[in-house]
């Protein structure tokens, strides 16, 4: 079968022929429909993140997938059922975090991540998985279901944001998303009409008009903030202080500038994964502002089945045009490397292995 992989020593994806996998007892065989590409895939290809499965000199890419149960193989799945696979798998059976349904909170070293670190991903015609790592999705999700995984990461961040502020009455009105990549735009759509009803939302980017991401931002009812004119550090003065800031840029200074962008009692969620970078901050002012204004900052990575289930609801509630406008490229497996190329018109690209 065709698979899109990165090979040892290379920093470009290639399409290879590998054997179709055989499900172990307790595993099902899944026929892949679509696999989305995100920044993590680029980092995996460039060797900045993750690591190959033990003993292999290549890694099948892809962690944002939607698939169909091809062979239930004795599990209680229904053949033909649409599913979205989760990403993390335990390194050893009996891991307490996985056992209690919180693989997203497992410390580094206790898990592999399919398509990212230590395990093959989903960018192939078929893959296998135990049913507990597959989340059933509606039949209508054959084309859009690959978005459940990225959305689930924001579901987790939103859940943690609310938890962080749950010791007092917190009614957020203003939300700022840092980053106008696919995850930023999906998150913005969630803040605009999601379970948390933000009255006013903002999205930071660094693009000139006309630009398809700015079009989406404005069509969602949010305000576009050009970071070249209005850096994060002045947003609270130029626009207004934010009850919630969601960082999806991986730009390390944003983590610290977020503190000042927040209103009193606000919370910032960090999701980007920057490289080392030493720079100066006014740490005294930041520390003081956190304390005197009861502000909070947390990091969030990955998600669990509960967040996938919430993501299904969020994706179902999105306006019809959103997924169409987000998905700027659908590529055949043979042309998969083209799906990794980006230009000013690229927002989200997918590799489509099959349709229902």
Question: Which residues bind to a second copy, rule: CB under 8 A?
Answer: 100, 102, 104-105, 107-108, 156, 159-160, 162-169, 252-253, 255-256, 263-265, 270-301
* Interacting residues of 293 by C-beta distance below 8 A, sequence separation 6+: 262, 263, 264, 265, 266
Strands 242-247 and 174-178: parallel
Nearer to a second copy, 9 or 107 (CB): 107
Nearer to a second copy, 27 or 247 (CB): 247
d(CA 22, CA 265): 52
In three-state secondary structure terms, 138 is: coil
Least distance CB 327 / a second copy (angstroms): 26
Q: Would residue 47 be called left, alpha or beta, if left means φ above 0 and alpha means ψ between -120 and 50 degrees?
A: left
Structure tokens at 210: 């006309």
Residue 273 annotated as binding site:
yes
Nearer to a second copy, 7 or 294 (CB): 294
Residue 247 annotated as binding site:
no
Residue 183 annotated as binding site:
yes
Nearer to a second copy, 132 or 288 (CB): 288
Least distance CB 261 / a second copy (angstroms): 15
Least distance CB 10 / a second copy (angstroms): 25
Based on the number of CB atoms within 10 Å of its own CB, is 276 exposed (0-12), middle (13-18) or buried (19 or more)?
A: exposed
Q: What interhelical angle do 305-317 and 148-164 show, nearest 10?
A: 110
Residue 144 annotated as binding site:
no
Nearer to a second copy, 6 or 297 (CB): 297
Structure tokens at 170: 């917190």
Nearer to a second copy, 103 or 329 (CB): 103
Least distance CB 255 / a second copy (angstroms): 4
The b/e string for 52-91 (b: 16+ C-beta within 10 A; e otherwise) is bbeeeebbbbbbbbbbbbbbbbebebeeebbbbbbbbbbe
In three-state secondary structure terms, 291 is: helix
Residue 272 annotated as binding site:
yes
Least distance CB 98 / a second copy (angstroms): 12
Residue 280 annotated as binding site:
no
Residue 221: CA count within 13 A, CB half-sphere: 13
* Interacting residues of 206 by C-beta distance below 8 A, sequence separation 6+: 226, 227, 228
Residue 99 annotated as binding site:
no
Residue 301 annotated as binding site:
yes
* Interacting residues of 130 by C-beta distance below 8 A, sequence separation 6+: 26, 27, 28, 75
Least distance CB 307 / a second copy (angstroms): 10
The phi, psi pair for 63, rounded to 5°, reads: -135, 0
Residue 149 annotated as binding site:
yes
Least distance CB 263 / a second copy (angstroms): 8
Nearer to a second copy, 129 or 249 (CB): 249
Which residue's structure tokens are 């920044």? Answer: 39
Binding residues: 40, 113, 149, 153, 180-183, 206-207, 271-273, 300-302
Binding residues for substrate: 40, 113, 149, 153, 302
Binding residues for NADP(+): 180-183, 206-207, 271-273, 300-302
């Amino acid at each position: 079968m065709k698979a899109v992989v990165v090979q040892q020593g290379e920093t470009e994806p290639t399409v290879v022929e590998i054997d179709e996998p055989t499900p172990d007892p307790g595993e099902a065989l899944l026929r892949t429909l679509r696999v989305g590409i995100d920044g993590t895939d680029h980092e995996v290809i460039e060797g900045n993140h993750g690591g190959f499965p033990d003993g292999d000199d290549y890694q099948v890419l892809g962690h944002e997938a939607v698939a169909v149960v091809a062979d239930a193989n004795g599990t209680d799945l229904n053949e033909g059922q649409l599913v979205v696979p989760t990403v993390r798998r335990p390194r050893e059976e009996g891991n307490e975090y996985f056992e209690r349904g919180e693989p997203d909170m497992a410390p580094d070293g206790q898990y592999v991540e399919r398509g990212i670190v230590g395990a093959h991903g989903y960018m192939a015609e078929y893959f296998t998985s135990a049913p507990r790592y597959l989340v059933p999705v509606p039949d209508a999700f054959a084309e859009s279901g690959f978005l459940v995984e990225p959305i689930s990461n924001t579901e987790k961040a939103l859940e943690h944001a609310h938890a962080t502020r749950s010791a007092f009455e917190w009614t957020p009105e203003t939300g700022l998303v840092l980053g106008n990549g696919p995850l930023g735009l999906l998150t913005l759509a969630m803040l605009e009409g999601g379970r948390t009803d933000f009255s006013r939302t903002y999205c930071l980017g660094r693009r000139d008009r006309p630009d398809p991401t700015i079009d989406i931002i404005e069509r969602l009812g949010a305000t576009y903030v050009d970071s070249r004119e209005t850096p994060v550090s002045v947003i609270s003065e130029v626009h207004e202080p934010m009850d919630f800031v969601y960082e999806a840029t991986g730009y390390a200074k944003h983590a610290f500038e977020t503190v000042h962008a927040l209103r009193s009692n606000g919370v910032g969620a960090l999701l980007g994964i920057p490289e080392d970078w030493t720079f100066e901050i006014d740490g005294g002012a930041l520390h003081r502002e956190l304390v005197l204004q009861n502000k909070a900052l947390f990091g969030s990575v990955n998600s669990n089945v509960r967040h996938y289930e919430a993501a299904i609801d969020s994706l179902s509630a999105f306006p019809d045009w959103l997924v169409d406008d987000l998905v700027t490229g659908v590529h055949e497996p043979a042309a998969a490397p083209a799906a990794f190329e980006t230009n000013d018109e690229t927002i989200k690209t997918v590799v489509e292995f099959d349709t229902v």
